[in-house]
Amino acid sequence: METDMSGRLLITGDLHGDTAALTMIARQLREGDALFVAGDFGFVFWDNRDEHVFLDDVDQFLQKINGYVIFADGNHENHRALNKFPVEQWNNARVHMIRSRIIHVLRGEVLSLKGKRIFCFGGAFSIDRAYRTLNKSYWKEEVPSEEDYENGNKNLKACDYKVDYVITHTCPLNLIPSLGGYHSAMEERQLQNYLQYVNETVYDSLTRWYFGHWHRDQEFGEKFRVIYLDLVDMETGKKIW
């Protein structure tokens, strides 16, 4: 069953667990709005009391305005902590219910909201691994598995490769040169190639594709937008702030 969404579908980029940033964005939300985050949500990272209390407070606020925060995962997430949450079904997609109004969409799932299909595929490779510690500040699950790719293929086929929006953390291979060159990590090249395939199969039905990861705000043609600090209305493409 599809949740009745009365408000806007909004999107922003990497939050990296920045409580001040999310608080500022929350002040822009209206009754019934859904805020998407294009990866590196980062509020289930240290998995400690401070994070839990903050998420509880955000969830209570969202309940009051009948709103939601919905995110695809990035590379800078605690994937082990995310995967502790049970997998549930929500708006035709498999998700982790972090809180009643804070939702992580699993890779390759297609959400149905406001009569729109939204394909979500998180993950990327951390180029700063040399400064991080495995299973403490980065996790091997940051890079999609073959099961993730197969899940995406299955769900795209089920909707006849017709989706309205795509939300990912990194981007299709063809956009990499415009973002400053090819990523040197082969682990992400496979993902970029896969997203290129998705691009080619859903392009005709696609309204817009939003992605984060690159820490910049820029449009590429009519259908692609890398997002970081901006808050954007997904349906109109209009920048809120």
In tens, the pLDDT along 220-239 reads: 999 999 999 999 999 999 99
Structure tokens at 170: 């990194």
Q: At what angle do helices 146-158 and 186-202 cross, to 10 degrees?
A: 0
Domain 9-233: give its CATH architecture: 4-Layer Sandwich (3.60)
Closest CA to 72 of 126, 18, 111: 111
Structure tokens at 166: 């795509």
pTM > 0.95: yes or no: yes
Q: Is 90 exceeded by the pLDDT of residue 187?
A: no
Cα-based distances in Å from 81 to 46, 92, 131, 149, 240: 9, 23, 21, 21, 32
**185: exposed, middle or buried (C-beta count within 10 Å: 0-12, 13-18, 19+)?**
middle
In tens, the pLDDT along 103-117 reads: 999 999 999 999 999
Q: Round the average pLDDT of the chain to a whole number and report it.
A: 96
In tens, the pLDDT along 27-70 reads: 999 999 999 999 999 999 999 999 999 999 999 999 999 999 99
**Around 240, how many Cα atoms within 13 Å sit in the side-chain half-sphere?**
22
In tens, the pLDDT along 112-154 reads: 999 999 999 999 999 899 999 999 999 999 999 999 999 999 9
pLDDT at 182: 54
